[in-house]
Structure 1
Amino acid sequence: MRKASRLFEIIQILRLARKPVTAADIAGQLEVTVRSVYRDIAALQAMRVPIEGERGIGYILRPGFDLPPLMFSIEEMEAIVLSLALLERTGDSELKQAAKRVSAKIAGAVPPPLRQTLDANALHAWGFAAPSASAIDLALVRRAIRDEEKLDLAYRDELGRATERIIRPIALIYYAETANIVAWCELRQAIRNFRSDRIEDCQPTGLWFKGEGDGLRQIWVNGWQTNASAAAG
């Protein structure tokens, strides 16, 4: 979990708590170390978030502090409900769990008339759900895209031939049957698509392509725009 997300989550945990929450409890909920929680609490206090308490006793958020409220129209709420339902079809277990947390947070924050939209269960996303990728963690891929970290793939092409690839991932496309990683392939020296169901192993390399992501995405976009223009001609 990225630091910005952790800081937000800590505020949410303390805001909803009815008694002091220990660093160990927070660490357990966020799946991080207690030391990380201590550092995050100190960072929040430095930003003048009114957190009180100390190690071994617990922390509270002083009354009166809250995050800015989110205000949604009925149509915006319906868009959120349907979007969260569509995440069930991606096969990305981390995103599905995140969708459930989003639903719970929205339900606890919106006024009763809008909450009825969530409770009505009137909007559904039917259709085939992609199976979870067994050999690859899509959350790892999404983090690599954000952090611009190269990945090491053990991959089989459409003919079943095994290859080793070092890639620079720039996008992730969710289809009904699989997810495709769009990446610069260092073996082919070109943009390639890698189907998640053909990946036999995927590991971070600790090597980076900082600052190159936007340029590589533009090469990708230019390529499919050129292909679309040729097809139309």
Structure 2
Amino acid sequence: MRKASRLFEIIQILRLARKPVTAATIAERLEVTVRSVYRDIAALQAMRVPIEGGRGIGYILRPGFDLPPLMFSIEEMEAIVLSLALLERTGDDELKQAAKRVGAKIAGAVPPPLRQTLDANALHAWGFAAPSASAVDLALVRRAIRDEEKLSLSYRDEAGRPTERIIRPVALIYYAETANIVAWCELRQAIRNFRSDRIEDCRPAGLWFKGEGDRLRQVWVDGWEINAAATVN
């Protein structure tokens, strides 16, 4: 986590806390060392963020300090609520936890009238969630897409035949029953879809395709548009 993100997260943790929060608790939440938390709090205090407390006591954010309120229309807030609810259906545990954190941050930052939209619990996304894939960590796949890192797959095709693939992942599509990894397959030399429920092992290959992600995504989109046009015709 970058320092700027950590500083923001520390402010959020302290702003939502009802009692002093120790550096150890913050470190556990952010998955950093206690020493890093001490340095970050010192940096925030140097920026005149009114954090009080100390080592062994815990820290609080003095009342009156807040981030600028987030301004949304009612319709925009409803779109956010429904979008966060839809993430519950992805089967991606990391995204589901992130959605809960986003909801908490927004609830703490928006003005009271808009907060009622979050609290009303009137919008729902119904349906079965995609099962969590046991052999593939979808968070790892998302990181590989962002970092443009190749993945090594042990995969079974539609006929059940085992195969080893090196892929360049460019997109992740969530369905009700599974998730599809859209990737350039180095074996087939083409864009292919890999169902998460057919993946027996997925690991970083230690190889990269830096600067190719956007181009490969465009290859995928162009192919999808051609297929869609052929279906219409």
Bin of the TM-score, shorter chain as denominator length: 0.7 to 0.9
Number of corresponding residues: 233
User: 1 CA distance for matches of 2:42 and 2:184?
Assistant: 40
User: 2 CA distance for matches of 1:42 and 1:213?
Assistant: 39
Give the superposition deviation at 1:172. Answer: 0.6
Match of 1:158 in 2: 158
CA contact (8 A) 2:69 2:111 kept: no
Tell me the SS of whatever aligns to 2:88: helix
Give the superposition deviation at 1:42. Answer: 6.9
Which blocks of at least 5 consecutive residues in structure 2 are unaligned? none
Give the superposition deviation at 1:65. Answer: 5.2
User: 1 CA distance for matches of 2:94 and 2:157?
Assistant: 26
CA contact (8 A) 2:52 2:62 kept: yes
Give the superposition deviation at 1:153. Answer: 1.1
User: 2 CA distance for matches of 1:47 and 1:167?
Assistant: 45
Distance 1:144 1:43, change over 3 A: farther
Give the superposition deviation at 1:41. Answer: 5.3
Give the superposition deviation at 1:178. Answer: 0.7
Match of 1:121 in 2: 121
CA contact (8 A) 2:172 2:179 kept: yes
User: 2 CA distance for matches of 1:27 and 1:83?
Assistant: 29
CA contact (8 A) 2:88 2:129 kept: yes
Distance 1:211 1:62, change over 3 A: farther
User: 2 CA distance for matches of 1:21 and 1:212?
Assistant: 44
Give the superposition deviation at 1:127. Answer: 1.5
Q: Deviations over 1:66-121 (max 9, x none)?
A: 43321111111111111111111110111111111122222222223222222222
Q: Bigger shift: 84-93 or 203-212?
A: 203-212
Which blocks of at least 5 consecutive residues in structure 1 are unaligned? none
CA contact (8 A) 2:16 2:108 kept: no
User: 1 CA distance for matches of 2:215 and 2:36?
Assistant: 34
TM-score (norm 1): 0.85
Give the superposition deviation at 1:63. Answer: 6.6
Match of 2:112 in 1: 112
Q: Deviations over 1:207-231 (max 9, x none)?
A: 2211111111111111111112222
Distance 1:44 1:201, change over 3 A: farther
User: 1 CA distance for matches of 2:85 and 2:16?
Assistant: 25
Give the superposition deviation at 1:4. Answer: 5.1
Distance 1:32 1:104, change over 3 A: same
Distance 1:218 1:58, change over 3 A: same
TM-score (norm 2): 0.85
Aligned-residue CA RMSD (Å): 2.7
Give the superposition deviation at 1:157. Answer: 0.9
Distance 1:93 1:3, change over 3 A: farther
Distance 1:184 1:4, change over 3 A: farther
CA contact (8 A) 2:154 2:165 kept: yes
Q: Bigger shift: 110-119 or 209-218?
A: 110-119
